[in-house]
Amino acid sequence: MLKIKNLNKSYGNRKVLQNLNLEINPGEVYGLLGANGAGKTTTINIICNLLKADQGEITINNLPVSEATKKLIGIAPQENLLYKTLSCQENLKFFADIYGLDQSTRQKQITDTLTAVNLLDRAKSPVETLSGGMQRRVNIAVALVHQPKLVILDEPTTGLDIEARYEIWELIRQLQNQGMTILLTTHLLDEAERLCNKIGILKNGQILAEGSLEELQKLIPAQEIVVLKTPQPEEAIALAQEYGFTHRYYGNDLAFWLPEVWDLKDIIAKFPGISIDAISRQPVRLEHIYLEVTNHN
């Protein structure tokens, strides 16, 4: 569906994208993760033909990116692009006209899109009367109204409360079940874990790691991560090194990568003579992988 090969972009002598490669298959939800300034928006702008790359190839449905491919893409930018005093329906009508939708099918597409985002009952409500989560769903509806092949959701849940976040996640799952191909950028690693079939970790304009969550988990050779609260961290680390356990600090938390899932008493037995205030166990999560990939490259 979307293929990006060796994409390069510089501003002056600052390289913002460096040989970026990325491929999204039809029906996939691809999560592009990266810190502020990693190059996500630049990549999106090039995909949408709003910005020219210095080098590289991008195709959408095997067509090189051009004015013609714009119609294949729907974008829901981070900041809602809505007219707040207009109703949901009027907003969609406005954008449907920009996309040049046929008058005869326009109303049906608007109704179908409002149904898809679960807002048909609020069709006539001014956007400013809706909750933040509903407004974000109208923003996504704008990206869907012309029935694109690829939808780009730029940080779709940033700034929303947890209830509204669940609604957006549910909507993304529904779109995926309908076969929509989605490129999602996010800072929220649990969001990517929940929703994405494939995840790309972007830093300094390069994809450092890519794959399904299961594939990425192989980057950390551990069955379990154990966080130890102890007043004797140095001693605990020295013991762990004898066993060949890797240790990491996640914030202030001292963690060890364990090669097997042991009983709690067996884990504690690995640290004889160490005073342990608390112990917590976690599976390998995307946050561990993200930190590993971005801190060691």
Ligand X SMILES: Nc1ncnc2c1ncn2[C@@H]1O[C@H](COP(=O)(O)OP(=O)(O)OP(=O)(O)O)[C@@H](O)[C@H]1O
Please identify which residue in 20, 22, 33, 38 interacts with ligand X, judged by CB under 6 A.
Answer: 38
Q: Is 40 in the site for ligand X (CB under 6 A)?
A: yes
Which range touches ligand X (CB under 6 A), out of 38-46, 84-92, 236-244, 276-284?
38-46
Task: Evaluate whether 260 touches 223 at the Cβ level (below 8 Å).
Answer: yes
Bridge partners of 226, per DSSP, are: 256, 281
In the shown chain, the binding pattern of residues 115 to 134 toward ligand X, with x for contact by CB under 6 A and - for none, equals --------------------
Question: Binding of ligand X at residue 39 (CB under 6 A)?
Answer: yes
What is the DSSP-derived secondary structure letter of residue 51? S
Residue 34 is a binding residue for ligand X (CB under 6 A): yes
Which residue lies nearer to ligand X by CB, 41 or 89? 41
Q: How far apart are CA 294 and CA 297, in angstroms?
A: 6
**Considering the rule CB under 6 A, would residue 75 count as an interface residue with ligand X?**
no
Task: Judge whether 64 and 57 are in contact, CB under 8 Å.
Answer: yes
Q: Is 120 exposed, middle or buried (0-12, 13-18, 19+ CB in 10 A)?
A: middle
Q: How far is the CB of 39 from ligand X (least distance, A)?
A: 4
Gyration radius of the chain's alpha carbons? 23
The residues, any chain, with a CB within 8 Å of residue 157's CB and separated by 6 or more, are 136, 164, 165, 168, 169, 186, 188, 191
- Minimum CB distance to ligand X smaller for 10 or for 246: 10
Give me the least distance between CB of 127 and ligand X, in Å please: 24
Q: Is 41 in the site for ligand X (CB under 6 A)?
A: yes
Q: How many CB atoms lie within 10 A of CB 42?
A: 19
Using the rule CB under 6 A, is 16 a contact of ligand X?
yes
Q: How far is the CB of 223 from ligand X (least distance, A)?
A: 33
Can you tell me which of 11, 124, 244, 278 binds ligand X, judged by CB under 6 A?
Answer: 11
Closest Cα partner for 242 from 208, 274, 282, 219? 274
Check binding of 203 to ligand X (CB under 6 A): no
Give contact residues for ligand X (rule: CB under 6 A). Answer: 11, 16, 34, 36-42
